[in-house]
Structure 1
């Protein structure tokens, strides 16, 4: 199991580079526009589908067999799914770029079918294993939410052509974004962190009581959010935000429990930044949820966009980038040097990717993101453009550091 996850991860890395090259060429101008435009949809889906979801799917294909100690249900089906999802996503991006409603409907359907094949492949794998624990429960829930996100996205894409949803379109759009952000990405990161962080930290004998509580709160937040967006009931949205904030705070407490009993003093720059990203997001989530509960109608649009960026890039993005610094060397070392162990002298995984460049590039990236968020919050378009461009440069440098692993 190397080629399948590797295909997704490399495609995701290419999409990541393309996203930041286009952002840089545009001087991050698309960020300052209202996000619900064809150009905005193109850039957001290039980042979310082309990069983050591609990487996540590859990581699932790699890590689920490790967790279950059994093979994926069908590797061949995985390659079919890769082809369908990749072509559907590429077509959808083209349709957004050209503002072609018919192609949007067709390609959104193709991408959704790719998602459904992924759901089937992973779902059958999990079902046959009969190993239900917090990690597999999170993975199963996340994949189901991905299916719902894809279904709602397909309906939105078809509505551009048939125009049958009316006022429900905007409500479904909110549920679509919420399902993808909190249900798919959120639970996936939580579940994989339950497995990966103890490995990276060499943590043993920590309490696991909070894991199920976090999963319960997180799922409740997802469904409350969907109900709130579909009905446009503000108080239900407030409950969803509060539940999510509570789950994030408990998740950080649980990570701290692991950290307290670690046997590895330094888990690596990527992991350290991922942990800090979660802590900062938890603090922001508490502030945002309280603010929305107290003054829901007085929050400016820029504040909401800033929170979404904090979640998607500040937590999901940095966590994926941090974990990539561990996953990519592992995959490449296993593929290239694994069969040669004991026969010739081979480098260690740590020698494939040094920690200092990872730490420096992530620090610069985080600083640029902070400036971007300040620019969004203050409405300073020039600062948003400059910080967004600097963020893209830092991200491209970071990805080049990761890509150098393939030359060793």
Structure 2
């Protein structure tokens, strides 16, 4: 496991740089009037990769081996490298030597890691626990140190001077909050298809395609609209409200929700999130000086990813807490005798609800052999109750994204 964590961290060092650099290259190659069209395509590509990647990963895991979700990146990376080497024009500027803010990067890592771990531990602990509140406080202290260092180093990774530009500050805050809603949907919806609908990892990827279609269409269309009209405030306000609507519809999720209905909800959410991947980048690039486009773009991408990470952690905590409360309630409603409900609730931590396959068989396998004959007739009721509890808990997690989308929509009104 430590090898996996270490090498994924190394992979992230390269992967984290690719997206903001690619967006900055668009600003170098095209005029402000032309950028909207191409940034719309970039937004669509980012959304596609975020959704198709897990789907392809599911296919590879189901059909070949999970090891190949890493191996497959090697030939793709080599082909991309050759294309960039041969076709990307060289852009050179007479600039002074640059210095990397290693201290700032280290402090931010030391701030975000314990903060997120503390929030995650809240699923099983209390705020007063050192592993919860203690880690969160440690993260906040390192965060304060990070801000102090960034205000003093000559070339910070997040220049605080950019936050004096209202357009940049509003865009960063809005994309941070919009990322919460997007990543919550992308991560949690496949879990519902696998756990409740009984879909394989591959099938769950297919089932979120409506979200993908909506995202692609709206990302490309928004870039074209802004490039032609030159206005974006009404577009972004409307799209974020649409995202909030789509996420609100997810709060009506139940075990018996029809898939076509859920697909429609996903399409609405996808239409709402697409413009955020294209237009905010355009807004920021046009608001800063040409020599700050690279760092401004990377900061925007940085906060979008952090927003998604923090949002997922908070949503996961809400989900786990609500699931613990709902399981006994829904088991009773499903007709499971109270004595079985009490026993099941006491041992629910041993039940894995993250995998695929027959949940009833997994539950029965965990029951001691002498009691299986007694429990077996209740398995359909138990499974039905767990599925409903899982759906309700999952639905409650989407409120994090709803609040984020609504606040982001209000922030957009302060754009110039």
TM-score, structure 2 as length reference: 0.29
Could you say which structure has the larger radius of gyration?
2
Looking at both structures, which has the greater relative contact order when contacts are Cα pairs under 8 Å and sequence separation is at least 6?
2
TM-score, structure 1 as length reference: 0.30
